[in-house]
Structures are given as C-alpha cells and as structure tokens.
Amino acid sequence: MTARRGTIAPVRSSVIPGFGPTLGFTMFYLSLLVLIPLVALFLRPIGMGGEKFVAVLSDPRVLASLRLSFGGALVAAGVNAFAGLLLAWVLVRYEFPGRRVVDAIVDLPFALPTAVAGIALTALYAPNGWIGALLAPFDIKVAFTPLGVMVAMIFIGVPFVVRTVQPVLQEADQEVDDAAASLGASRWLIFRRIILPTLLPSLTTGFALAFARAVGEYGSIIFIAGNIPGVSEIAPLLIVTKLEQYDYEGATAIAAIMLVASFILLCIINGLQKWQQSRIGRP
C-alpha cells in the first residue's frame, strides 16, 4: 500500500535489531572467537624472548617443515587453479552422461573426514597400492614423500577453485564468445582476451582459498606423508609434536610465524585480486 503525497510513509519494522546492537554483537563474537585467541598466540612467543624465538625458528627441522608446508601449498594451489578451471569449464560448457554425478563428486573432499581421505590416498599411492604399483616401475614414489604431501593438498583444495569459478562461468554470456568466433577470432584469442579476464578474480579467490586450506591441513596429510623429520614433516604436525613434548613456547612460535606468513601471502593475493577487478572495471 502506497502512502499519499504529502504524508510521511510509516517506517517499516525490521526483525533484525538496529546498527548499534548488531555491531556490538558482531565485534564481541569476532573478538571472542578470533581476535583474543590470536592475541594470546602472539603474546606467548613474546614472553619467551627474542633470542629463544629466533633459536626455535632457525632450527633446521622447523625450517624444513615450513618450507614443505608453504612450498607444497603454493604448488598444490597452482595445480588446483589449472585443474579446477578445466573441471569447472567442462561442467558448465558441456553436456555428457553422468555430469551431475561428477559435479557432486567435486564436493566430496568437503564432506569426507580428513583421516578417511588420508588413509584412502595412502592405500592408493603406496608402493603396493593401485596407483603406486603402476608408478613403481618408473621409480616414482608418492606415498611417504613430499610428493605425497602435495597430492593430499591438491585433493583437499580442488573444490575451492571449482566452486568459485563455476558460478562466474554460468553467468558468462556465451554469445559474446560466439560473436568473437564469427569475426574470425581463434579459440585461444577468445579465451585470453574475453574469458580469462572475467575469470581471473574468482580464479584468484579459489587459489587463495586452496592455498589457505593446504597450509593448515593436517588429517589427510599425516597418513600419506610418512612424517620423516626434515623430509616429509609438515609444520602443523611439528606443532602437535612440540605440544606433546610440553614445549608450548616452541609450538606457539611456529604457529605465530605460520600465521604471519599466511596473512602476508593472503594480503598479497587479495591485493592482486582487487587490482584485477579494477582493470576489468575500467572502460
């Protein structure tokens, strides 16, 4: 019902409270679950002193675990960006028998317990497993090696890329591609000049999500990694090991450096994403 001209329309009541209560609850909830634990995480290494903090982080075992966690996560996120883009493209642009089944399988790493995923990957890629036995004649070892760590990271990260790119592909106007093709543009030129710039922001987001998940992954990696110190030991496992040894300061020091490094990398990725969006938005 519309209000008459010259009269003041009644203010609609909202189920959600006003700005003040909602902002207060949001800040309280955010502080309780995120800010306070992060502050406590940083206060513990500060109390141990700079010399001991540097000694913990300069340990060769710690450095090797950090290299594997971050290096493996970067490689896995890069592979997922490529494979996830191809998978999303096939699911959106092509009709084939079993497409809905494949689309549902993509979400399997979300629902599958990480321990189950780790055991399944180990059974497949072990020297006597289905895939491991095929790779053994070529002297390729996956299980209990850094390569196995990256395989597990790829497994748990690919849905993030597919689910961020897929909606953008679904909303893209395919008639633009057809028009470019009718004007003589090659498939590679259409992809490079029309499709890829539209997908870059979502692809970057999927890359960042896959990287963040891979860095902090624990359950699906420890089974296939072999957990050899200095070789296939990831940083989250080393944190758990130090906690079991009651070395709380060493564990929090590793956790703090992982948090800082992850935050810096994610800020860089988000900055690149905003830069890409600004370029796309230019006339």
Query: Does position 154 have pLDDT exceeding 90, yes or no?
Result: yes
pLDDT band of 177, cuts 50, 70, 90: low
- pLDDT value of position 12: 55
User: How does pLDDT run across 50-75, given as a tens digit for each residue?
Assistant: 777 788 888 999 999 999 999 999 99
Structure pTM?
Answer: 0.82
Average pLDDT, the chain: 83
| Predicted confidence (pLDDT) at residue 127 exceeds the cutoff of 80 | yes
Question: What pLDDT is attached to residue 96?
Answer: 87
User: Please, which pLDDT band fits residue 1 given cuts at 50, 70 and 90?
Assistant: very low
Residue type, 186: S
> Rounded CA gap, 101 and 143, in Å?
28
Rounded CA-CA distance 217/156 in Å is 8
> For 50-169+203-281, CATH number?
1.10.3720.10
